[in-house]
Amino acid sequence: MTLDVALTWDRTFAIRNEPKPDFAGGISSLRNSWVNIPPSPFDTVSLPEVGISLQENEVIVSFKTTVEIRSAKWLNQTIEEIVRLMWLPRDWNSDNPRQIEPKSIERILAVLLTILDSDSTPPAVVPTTRGGVQVEWHQNGIDLEIEAFNLSKLEYYFSDSKGEQEGTIEDNPAVLKQFTGCLKTTSRS
């Protein structure tokens, strides 16, 4: 039996907002740092803690993750896309939207760190009118969408050639890993 113990890493992103024409939250610089902390068992079921703080024009994102995820291609790209939503103005669309809540951003990042692997495909990231964040994949005949719109709720939608399912999850988002696993299985077949 292999004991799955991975290093955990503290990761801090600092993303500066310097608005550009036609872009609500331009990201002109991205610096990040890794701090190695002592090895400890990494529990893939519980949600990793993600912290987000807004300091003037800079958003600080910090979390712990495994050494494998540290090299994941989806990580930098997805964090940039998610964090830029924090700079959307309060009235960003015509539907009287709620401002994107930092808690939704923390929640969706924590979910992604839980359910994605180092070789996972980066999701598309879109804001939702109710102040949430939706991540979605459309590949190999599969559609998968996950939306976080407050601290406690996740909504998901999954569809493939066999049918579709949708629902709400309030506790353990690790069950969503079955769906991201399907994306991978299909792409390898």
Partner 1 sequence: MSAFTNDSTIDDNEIIWRRIHQFQVVDDPNLNRKRPSTAGFDNGRDIPLSVYIASEAQSPQVVMQDGKEKYLVALIVGFVRQLGLGIIRDSSSGGLGHALLIGKKTKGMLNSMAKTATWVAPYVP
SS3 string, the chain, reads CCCCCCCEEEEEEEEEECCECCECCCEEEEEEEEEECCCCCCCCCCCCCEEEEEECCEEEEEEEEEHHHHCCHHHHHHHHHHHHHHHCCCCCCCCCCCCCCHHHHHHHHHHHHHHCCCCCCCCEEEECCCCCEEEEEEECCEEEEEEECCCCCEEEEEEECCEEEEEEECCCHHHHHHHHHHHHHHHHC
Site for partner 1 in 120-149 (CB under 8 A): 124, 126-130, 134, 136, 138-143, 145, 147
Site for partner 1 in 88-127 (CB under 8 A): 88, 91-95, 97, 124, 126-127
To partner 1, the closest distance from the beta carbon of 105 in angstroms equals 14
Structure tokens at 60: 């600080």
Q: Residue from 118, 157, 169, 182 that binds partner 1 (CB under 8 A)?
A: 157
CA gap 52, 83 in Å, rounded: 9
To partner 1, the closest distance from the beta carbon of 90 in angstroms equals 11
- Which among 4-12, 29-37, 107-115, 152-160 is the span making contact with partner 1, rule CB under 8 A? 152-160
Q: How many residues bind partner 1 (CB under 8 A)?
A: 31
To partner 1, the closest distance from the beta carbon of 101 in angstroms equals 15
Site for partner 1 in 28-67 (CB under 8 A): none
> Which x/- pattern, by CB under 8 A, does the window 7-26 give for partner 1?
-----------------x--
Phi, psi of 126 (to 5 degrees): -135, 145
Would you say 62 or 159 has its CB closer to partner 1? 159
- Residue ranges binding partner 1 (CB under 8 A): 24, 85, 88, 91-95, 97, 124, 126-130, 134, 136, 138-143, 145, 147, 155-157, 159, 164, 166
